Amino acid sequence: MLDDFFIRALLAGLGVAIVTGPLGCFVIWRRLSYFGDTLAHSALLGVTLAYTMEFNIAFSVFIISSLIALILIQLQKRTNLPGDALLGLLAHSSLAVGLVVIGFLTFIRFDIMGLLFGDILAVTVDDLLIIWIGGPLIILVLKLIWKPLFASTVNYELAEAEGLNPDRAKAIFTILMAGIIAISIKMVGLLLITGMLIIPAAMARNISDSPQKMVVYSIIGGVLSVILGLFSSLEFNTSSGPSIIAAALFLFILSLLNIKQSIKLKN
Selected from 213, 238, 258, 260, the binder of another protein by CB under 8 A is 213
Shortest distance, position 165 Cβ to another protein, whole Å: 11
Buried b (16+ CB within 10 A) or exposed e, 167-198: eebbebbbebbbbbbbbbbbbbbbbbbbbbbb
What DSSP character marks residue 210?
Answer: S
- The reply on whether position 147 binds another protein by CB under 8 A is yes
From start to end of the chain, where are the E strands?
none
Candidate segments 80-88, 179-187, 205-213, 225-233, binder of another protein by CB under 8 A: 205-213
Nearer Cβ to another protein (147/260): 147
Q: How far is CA 148 from CA 2, 143, 165, 171, in A?
A: 39, 10, 7, 12
Q: Looking at beta carbons only, is 122 or 172 nearer to another protein?
A: 172
DSSP element (H, E) containing 56: none
Greatest CA separation for the chain: 65
Shortest distance (Å) from residue 171 CB to another protein: 16
How far apart are CB 218 and another protein at their closest, in Å? 11
**Under the criterion CB under 8 A, does residue 214 sit at the interface with another protein?**
yes
Residues lying near another protein in the complex (CB under 8 A): 28-29, 31, 147, 150-151, 153-155, 157-164, 205, 208-214
